[in-house]
Amino acid sequence: MSVTLDEARALDAADPLRRLRNRFFLPPGVIYLDGNSLGALPVAAEARVREAVTREWGQGLIRSWNDEDWIGAPARVGAKLARLIGAQRHEVVVADSTSVNIFKLLVAALRARPDRKVILTETGNFPTDLYVAGGVASLVPGVEVRALPSGEVEAAIGEDVAVVLLTHVHYKTAARRDMAGVTARAQRAGAIMIWDLSHSAGAVAVDLNACNVDLAVGCGYKFLNGGPGAPAFLYVADRWLGELVSPLTGWMGHAAPFDFVDDYRPAAGVERFLCGTPPMLGLLALEVGVDLALEVDAQALEAKSARLWSLFAGQVESRLAGQGFTQITPREAQRRGSHIAFAHPHGYAIVQALIARGVIGDFRDPDVMRFGLTPLYLGFEDVWRAVETLGEVMASGGWRDSPERGRVT
Amino acid sequence: MSVTLDEARALDAADPLRRLRNRFFLPPGVIYLDGNSLGALPVAAEARVREAVTREWGQGLIRSWNDEDWIGAPARVGAKLARLIGAQRHEVVVADSTSVNIFKLLVAALRARPDRKVILTETGNFPTDLYVAGGVASLVPGVEVRALPSGEVEAAIGEDVAVVLLTHVHYKTAARRDMAGVTARAQRAGAIMIWDLSHSAGAVAVDLNACNVDLAVGCGYKFLNGGPGAPAFLYVADRWLGELVSPLTGWMGHAAPFDFVDDYRPAAGVERFLCGTPPMLGLLALEVGVDLALEVDAQALEAKSARLWSLFAGQVESRLAGQGFTQITPREAQRRGSHIAFAHPHGYAIVQALIARGVIGDFRDPDVMRFGLTPLYLGFEDVWRAVETLGEVMASGGWRDSPERGRVT
């Protein structure tokens, strides 16, 4: 199962996506396996943000809202993103954070199912999904959040369920749900399906239209490489666009925001889910990341991600057998996303020791080590070296010198 | 009333704030009178954003959340901003947009007054305030928005009013409300007072604590010079911090977001009003603008703004009498903010003609010309030249060649 360094290099040489590696800034001495948390800096983003600051803001000033089409950027970047996730261009817009977008879509969906009162989700979902659902429940009379263990959710989609809110690829385990199957099941029961694509977009092939998905949200700063705190996106299926209205009725969601009238009238399209003035610097940086992802076929992206995963898993199995690593990511390629996770009783200390050696992964409570396998810029040699370093950390006991547990982001 | 160019220059020479002008990038050939809409680029913001992108994101990657204290930025910049608006450092946080923050505070305030159902505000308020209030009313059972003409609001603060939502400085007319007086009146009637400081912060002296204000929001990209779509801020008086909870319960408002637990527990302080991951590029650019504003005493800022205003008004009166300009900004310095507004039947075309000549103001329906008088970087000669140019436009009839009315931001 194990490969040699030369074999890993040969895989890189044959990798059709290899040409994209130089389009990212990857610091010397670092193997970056945390693109599932914050993606690397695209080289072009440096120049794009500089241009946005120096020329568009500095010289263009207020005129750039029109002259540089800042005002059109949320829909423009949304339309590009749509191509990555199998949506029509008018079904996606970039706005706010994932959390805020979940709130908008949950409330909008509940209003479309006034006789049902349950938001169904899973325990151990990414916390913000659970927290926001709870916030919605405390606001909308009668609504309750029903969070069940992962394996029990699908069977529990009953006739009292208004909305099913699930994450496509789990942030901790990387387990990927059957989008088409779960969506169909929810819809057969009369519920509306919301997918959180935070760990999917830019990492695995997603086809929202083919899966007949109702609503979706996702994050801009992970596999889309939009930069720290990049704005998020949301998707509303065409068939819902006429009916659903955002509860966050800010001026940018108005049909004619620059008429400055007193009465709210939602925009005709997905722009009605905009709220305040769009965060231009983050949005323009995100556009660079989305453009990069669009240079690659989504199937090719997913295929490479799967091969990086197999190499990582295989190397750990052969190199680190019996050393306490329990792989918690599903083995079947179709059932996982683009990171690999292991439980280990000393996971926190081991991750710290790896970071100290330039191999950056991360840790999630209680004992999970995560390694992001970003197909756009990561190579097979990177994966090979990462596992070698892990082997050295374990062999030397170097993790015992790791700093005490502190804040981990 | 009118002054000569030499006299205007003498005012600049004697201006204690003049030294700050070079800290901003002001494009050659432009007199920028739209800082009330999008503030100018601070020179230091260029380098700060470049540093954030190239070094902190590019090299530091995920580590910068801790190593560069990105995670602490919303509270850190909030604490700085607090000093500008007369708040304690733990009462202010930077987050989301003004619209989203209005939503959070309106819902939080309504929950603290469960027996009252009215959000009182004024017609002609900045539209997003009205729209968001309407969105809240459609979400919270029984709540209604009562929007009255400006002069009738105070007398209407009755015992059914839960929240009074007003803008301190009006976006169109620049009329400034009596913050202490209205707040006291609202509180005597048992209502909670929310001020929108979007046209106040960085422009006029604001003292939230001295005025006993309950809650406030404000914009980062106007007089605070935070850049296009900069994040907004919100203020919660210390006495409310233990009681009010945001309805947007995203993970960044959790007491321990990195514990990744299923149950939401709000942070102890104003951080509970955070929601999603903070937009770092915009937030770090805003910090530069806030730092600049802090170099100046708020009273000195307001005093200069008042003098720029007097010069503008005086020059228009003497230079353009009888040409259809109706000044709609209150004359008394204490009753206005930091822009000057005129109604004129050909206002749109005149503003376009001015912009074509490098004097950038803006237009608001139906007939209002606005000129921002940003005390940090604007000089008396700028104001003098702006009115001269206005005189030339009127004398030559040059406004008749202006392009047709289009989108105005």
Domain limits, chain B: 5-41+297-401, 69-293
Q: Is-contact B63 A239, C-beta < 8 A?
A: no
- CB spacing of B248 vs A71 below 8 angstroms: no
Catalytic status, residue B377: no
pLDDT at residue number A136: 98
Residue B233, helix vs strand vs coil: strand
Other C-beta atoms lying within 10 Å of the C-beta of residue B318: 12
Catalytic status, residue B126: yes
Task: Tell me if the domain spanning B5-41+297-401 has CATH number 1.10.3720.10.
Answer: no
CB pairs under 8 A between A and B: 291
Q: Is-contact B202 B300, C-beta < 8 A?
A: no
pLDDT in tens, B149-162: 999 999 999 999 99
- Which of B229, B262, B406 has the CB atom closest to A123's CB atom? B262
- CB spacing of B134 vs A221 below 8 angstroms: no
pLDDT in tens, B60-72: 999 999 999 999 9
pLDDT at residue number A369: 97
Q: Which residues of B touch A134 (CB under 8 A)?
A: 249, 264
pLDDT at residue number A408: 45
Q: Is-contact A206 A168, C-beta < 8 A?
A: yes
Chain B interface test: which of A131, A139, A172, A360 (most B C-beta within 10 Å):
A131
pLDDT in tens, B88-113: 999 999 999 999 999 999 999 999 99
- Which of A46, A70, A249 has the CB atom closest to B54's CB atom? A46
Q: Amino acid letter at A154?
A: E
Annotated catalytic residue, options B196, B214, B362, B382:
B196
Residue in this structure with the two tokens 């160019």, named with its chain if needed: B5
Q: What is the mean pLDDT of chain B?
A: 96
List the beta bridge partners of residue A164.
Answer: A120, A193
Which residues 6+ apart lie within 8 Å of A186 measured at CB? A157, A161, A164, A192, A193
- Which of A103, A260, A407 has the CB atom closest to B127's CB atom? A260
List the beta bridge partners of residue A236.
Answer: A215
- CB spacing of B262 vs A127 below 8 angstroms: yes
- CB spacing of A277 vs B37 below 8 angstroms: no
Q: Which residue of A has its CA nearest to B228?
A: A280
User: Averaged over B357-366, what is the pLDDT?
Assistant: 94
Q: Which residue of A has its CA nearest to B129?
A: A250
| Predicted confidence band of residue B405 (pLDDT cuts 50, 70, 90) | low
Confidence (pTM): 0.97
Length of chain B: 409
Other C-beta atoms lying within 10 Å of the C-beta of residue A18: 15
pLDDT at residue number A277: 98
Task: Tell me if the domain spanning A69-293 has CATH number 3.30.930.10.
Answer: no
Catalytic status, residue B196: yes
pLDDT at residue number A2: 86
Asked if the domains B5-41+297-401 and B69-293 are classified in one and the same CATH topology, the answer is: no
Which residues 6+ apart lie within 8 Å of B42 measured at CB? B23, B24, B25, B225, B288, B289, B292
Q: Is-contact A267 A274, C-beta < 8 A?
A: yes
pLDDT at residue number A407: 47
Q: Which residues of A touch B409 (CB under 8 A)?
A: 62, 65-66, 71, 258
Q: Which residues of B touch A33 (CB under 8 A)?
A: none
**Has residue B406 got a pLDDT over 90?**
no
Annotated catalytic residue, options A96, A196, A214, A362:
A196
Q: Which residues of B touch A264 (CB under 8 A)?
A: 127, 130-131, 134-135
List the beta bridge partners of residue A215.
Answer: A194, A236
Catalytic status, residue B370: yes
Q: Which residue of B has its CA nearest to A261?
A: B127
Catalytic status, residue A126: yes
pLDDT at residue number B404: 63
Which residues 6+ apart lie within 8 Å of A287 measured at CB? A48, A73, A76, A77, A80
CA distance A1 to chain B (A): 31
- What is the DSSP pairing of strand B161-167 with strand B144-148? unpaired
- CB spacing of A66 vs B407 below 8 angstroms: yes
User: Averaged over B305-312, what is the pLDDT?
Assistant: 96
Q: Which residue of A has its CA nearest to B364?
A: A260
Chain A interface test: which of B64, B131, B263, B274 (most A C-beta within 10 Å):
B131
pLDDT per residue rounded down to tens, chain A (409 residues): 689 999 999 999 999 999 999 999 999 999 999 999 999 999 999 999 999 999 999 999 999 999 999 999 999 999 999 999 999 999 999 999 999 999 999 999 999 999 999 999 999 999 999 999 999 999 999 999 999 999 999 999 999 999 999 999 999 999 999 999 999 999 999 999 999 999 999 999 999 999 999 999 999 999 999 999 999 999 999 999 999 999 999 999 999 999 999 999 999 999 999 999 999 999 999 999 999 999 999 899 999 999 999 999 999 999 999 999 999 999 999 999 999 999 999 999 999 999 999 999 999 988 999 999 999 999 999 999 999 999 999 999 888 888 766 544 4
Chain A interface test: which of B128, B221, B273 (most A C-beta within 10 Å):
B128
- CB spacing of A248 vs B409 below 8 angstroms: no
**Has residue B252 got a pLDDT over 70?**
yes
Q: Is-contact B356 B400, C-beta < 8 A?
A: no
Q: Which two tokens mark A108?
A: 């909008």
- CB spacing of B365 vs A231 below 8 angstroms: no
Q: Which two tokens mark B91?
A: 């009462």
Q: Which residues of A touch B38 (CB under 8 A)?
A: 57, 61-62, 65
DSSP one-letter string for B290-343: HHHHTTS-HHHHHHHHHHHHHHHHHHHHHHSTTSS-EE-S-SSGGGB-SEEEEE
Task: Tell me if the domain spanning A5-42+297-401 has CATH number 3.90.1150.10.
Answer: yes
- Which of A62, A64, A282 has the CB atom closest to B279's CB atom? A282
